[in-house]
């Protein structure tokens, strides 16, 4: 049973407040924010208490999504409700941000009225709610398929000559009249990579977590069939097919996915509802099918003037026609570093010293595969000693790899039945993110 639901910005601004039972005053919002900000660390407890009131919250889109309860409710139920609420708001508003919540507050209050009745959860299904929600979403930026100013993920299969901008799937499921009510469906294969490379260049750890997300803007779609690699196998004992094996250790599926054709043909069947849903999750541990995307060759020394010299050569081992974007290398430096001078191998790179985090941040907007970049950092460190030079490293990398999956998972085909009347677009997009990519020096 839920007493209140409210949404706060990261600064504590009240964006949404809904009291379902009148059991606690509105001052609980300030009490919650004071408790969160008083705690040390980046991740406060998900469940907190104040007298007889329990706060349960999640952090999504830079916002606090909070539910309160005075009863002995299951915290896992409330957490699941908050996660589904954030997914609903994202589906109906197009994105999760402070601006989108402010512009669509009337729509969010209407959603809360339908989702919760006197503290009892009724439904979080977008298929059920679309019959009752009347308020149109307000988009902060009009959607245009031909706006290619911010390309992040790319089309596949029959859309090889077209590109879907990364903002294409961040529009409300209730398309406004200006958007033309386009019938589109997006299938995103998203992977997160965790890698540790030793100081000798040996790969020590490599884990990949991935998921297949479907976001549907089809008014009617009775069934969708997603064909995966024929060589896709789960576990080492199920290697199959004649091509290069695409293996994962384990995977799980959404409850709506029918698997009667999966074992024999590697086909997922489901009836997608409007909005976004994760149809499959998978994991691979300590067995990358290809080499890690980046290698670092560092040289750390002290010059005659007592400055710390760090010469970094970073190599991108992606295929030549591929490229990494938004590459950022964070190099921890000795305590007390006061200034930085730099020599970079290309003009589009940048670097700065951040004394608060004691690190040099090296940023590369685009890094083509099969190339190598270098940087020479000269640091002024008062009282530099051999012991303080050991404080350099390890180096952390963050990046995005568009059109690439670390496991090799691919979508062979995407078919809808019955055939959709009128024009419709189907997009398959791939991207790999760095979850934790650490290179020891």
Per-residue pLDDT of 107-141, as tens digits, reads 999 999 999 998 889 988 877 887 788 888 887 65
pLDDT of residue 237: 62
Q: Does residue 139 form part of some domain? A: no
| pTM more than 0.85 | no
Same domain (yes/no): 16, 126 = yes
Q: In the predicted model, is pLDDT for residue 82 greater than 60?
A: yes
User: In CATH, what number is assigned to the domain containing residue 349?
Assistant: 2.60.40.1170
The reply to whether 366 and 248 lie within a common domain is: no
CA triple 250-214-268, angle to 5 deg: 55
Q: How far apart are CA 124 and CA 114, in angstroms?
A: 9
Decide which of 169 and 38 is more confident.
Answer: 38
Q: How far apart are CA 284 and CA 147, in angstroms?
A: 36
Dihedral class, residue 210 (left if φ above 0, else alpha if ψ from -120 to 50, else beta): beta
The domain boundary residue, chosen from 86, 111, 130: 130
Please tell me the distance from the alpha carbon of residue 312 to that of residue 299, in angstroms, as a whole number.
Answer: 7
Tell me: do 34 and 45 sit in the same domain: yes
User: Would you state the pLDDT for residue 330?
Assistant: 94
Nearest to 85 by CA among 24, 4, 28: 4
Give whole-number Cα distances, 177 to 129, 134, 138, 217, in Å. 20, 14, 12, 14
Residues 7-16, buried b or exposed e (16+ Cβ, 10 A)? bbbeeeeeeb
Lowest mean pLDDT, pick from 152-166, 256-270, 287-301, 354-368: 152-166
User: Tell me: the pLDDT tens digits for 212-262?
Assistant: 999 888 776 678 899 999 888 888 765 555 556 788 999 999 988 999 999
334 and 222 in a single domain? The answer is no
Question: Are residues 278 and 258 part of one domain?
Answer: yes
Pair 430, 415 in one domain: yes
User: Do residues 285 and 357 share a domain?
Assistant: no
Query: pLDDT band at residue 412, thresholds of 50, 70 and 90?
Result: very high
Residue 178, pLDDT > 50, answer no
| Domain tally, the chain | 3
Q: Is residue 280 assigned to a domain?
A: yes
Is 136 inside a domain boundary? no
More confident residue, 23 or 314: 314
What is the model's pLDDT at position 396? 95
Domain shared by 311 and 428, yes or no: no
Alpha-carbon gap, residue 24 to 240, rounded angstroms: 59
Which pLDDT band, with edges at 50, 70 and 90, does 25 fall under? confident
Q: What is the mean pLDDT of residues 181-204?
A: 89
278 & 408 share domain: yes
Q: Is residue 430 within 8 Å of residue 189, measured between CB atoms?
A: yes
137 within domain boundaries? no
Q: What is the pLDDT of residue 169?
A: 56
- Is 80 exceeded by the pLDDT of residue 42? no
Asked if residue 278 is part of any domain, the answer here is yes
Structural domain containing residue 321: 294-402
Sheet containing 372-380: give its strands across: 294-302, 308-316, 372-380, 339-344
Q: Evaluate if residue 12 carries a pLDDT over 50.
A: yes
One domain for residues 419 and 389: no
With a cut of 70, say whether residue 41 has pLDDT above it: no
* CATH number of the domain that residue 35 is part of: 3.30.450.60
Let me know if residue 64 belongs to a domain. yes
Percentage of the chain modeled with pLDDT above 70: 86
6 and 126 in one domain? yes
Mean pLDDT calculated for residue range 203-213: 93
**Could you say which of 130, 151, 169 is where a domain stops?**
130
Residue 158, pLDDT above cutoff 60: no
Q: Is residue 174 part of a domain?
A: no
The answer on 387 and 371 residing in a single domain is: yes
- The mean pLDDT of the chain is 84
Of 11-15, 141-145, 216-220, 413-417, give the lowest mean pLDDT range: 141-145
Condensed to tens digits (0 to 9), the pLDDT of residues 312-349 reads 999 999 999 999 999 999 999 998 888 899 999 989 99
Give the pLDDT score at 438. 95
366 in a domain, yes or no? yes
pLDDT band at 157 (very low <50, low <70, confident <90, very high): very low
Q: What is the pLDDT of residue 238?
A: 58
């Amino acid at each position: 049973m839920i007493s209140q639901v409210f949404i706060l910005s990261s600064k504590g601004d009240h964006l949404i407040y809904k009291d379902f039972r009148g059991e606690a005053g509105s001052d609980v919002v300030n009490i919650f924010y004071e408790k969160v900000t008083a705690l040390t660390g980046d991740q406060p407890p998900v469940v907190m208490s104040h007298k007889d009131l329990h706060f349960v919250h999640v952090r999504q889109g830079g916002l606090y999504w909070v539910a309160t309860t005075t009863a002995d409710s299951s915290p896992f139920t409330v957490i699941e409700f908050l996660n589904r609420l954030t997914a609903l708001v994202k589906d109906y508003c197009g994105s999760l941000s402070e601006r989108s919540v402010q512009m669509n507050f009337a729509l969010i209050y209407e959603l809360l009225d339908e989702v919760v009745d006197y503290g009892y959860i009724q439904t979080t299904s977008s298929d059920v709610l679309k019959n009752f929600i009347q308020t149109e979403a307000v988009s902060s930026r009009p959607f245009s398929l031909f706006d290619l100013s911010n390309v992040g993920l790319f089309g596949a299969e029959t859309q090889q000559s077209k590109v879907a901008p990364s903002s294409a799937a961040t529009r409300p499921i209730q398309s406004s009249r200006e958007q033309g009510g386009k019938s589109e469906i997006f299938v995103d294969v998203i992977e997160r990579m965790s890698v540790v490379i030793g100081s000798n260049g040996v790969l020590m750890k490599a884990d990949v977590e991935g998921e297949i997300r479907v976001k549907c803007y089809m008014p009617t779609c009775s069934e969708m069939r997603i064909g995966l690699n024929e060589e896709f196998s789960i576990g080492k004992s199920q290697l199959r097919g004649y091509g290069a094996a695409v293996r994962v250790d384990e995977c799980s599926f959404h409850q709506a996915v029918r698997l009667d054709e999966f074992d024999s043909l590697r086909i997922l069947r489901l009836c997608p509802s409007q909005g976004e849903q994760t149809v499959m999750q998978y994991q691979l541990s300590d067995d990358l099918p290809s080499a890690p995307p980046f290698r670092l060759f560092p040289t750390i020394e002290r010059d005659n003037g007592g400055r710390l010299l760090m010469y970094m050569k970073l190599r991108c081992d992606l295929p030549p026609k591929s490229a990494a974007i938004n590459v950022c290398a964070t190099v921890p430096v000795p305590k007390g570093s006061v200034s930085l001078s730099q020599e970079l191998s290309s003009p589009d790179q940048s670097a700065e010293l951040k004394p608060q985090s004691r690190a040099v941040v090296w940023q590369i907007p685009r890094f083509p595969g099969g190339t190598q970049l270098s940087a020479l950092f000269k640091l002024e460190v008062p009282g530099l000693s051999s012991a303080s030079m050991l404080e350099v490293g390890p180096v952390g990398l963050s990046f995005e790899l568009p059109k690439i999956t670390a496991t090799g998972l691919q979508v062979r085909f995407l078919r809808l039945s019955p055939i959709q009347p009128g024009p419709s677009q189907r997009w398959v997009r791939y991207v790999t993110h760095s979850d934790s990519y650490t290179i020891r020096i």
